[in-house]
Amino acid sequence: MLILILLLVVGAIMVYLAQNNLMPVTLHLGTQTFSGIPLFYIIIGSLLAGLVLAYLLYLVNSIFTAFIMHGKDNKIKQGKSDIVDLTKQIHKLELENERLKNNSTIIEPQDNNAL
């Protein structure tokens, strides 16, 4: 609904510009000269060129942001992997500590899948 209202407002602005800016102008683009173009076309063309340029800048920014987020995700995965490895090492050291406290010489079987 909001988009429909926005489109109606933009359409009304374009109609107003079209009715009040019909005088022909000459457009100079470098060495090219275009004469007899209604001012309304120049206004709308400038608006569309600005929107396209803004969209391209947004697209480039989105691509760079996606690459940055991918790098951050990899760092998080690496950090979680390090946490799991350290937890396994702590568990093994706790078992060894208990074994040394009890002065037992029995070596318990190692469980590689244990935390």
* Cα separation, 91 vs 114, whole angstroms: 8
Between residues 17 and 58, which one has the greater pLDDT?
Answer: 58
pLDDT at position 55 = 96
> Domain residues of the chain, as ranges?
2-101
Summarised one tens digit per residue, pLDDT across range 39-62 is 888 888 898 999 999 999 999 999
pLDDT reading at 37 higher than 80: yes
H or E, element range at 32: strand 32-38
User: Beta strands 24-29 and 32-38: pairing type?
Assistant: antiparallel
* Cα separations in angstroms, 94 against 50, 57, 83, 87, 113: 65, 55, 16, 10, 16
* Cα separation, 47 vs 10, whole angstroms: 12
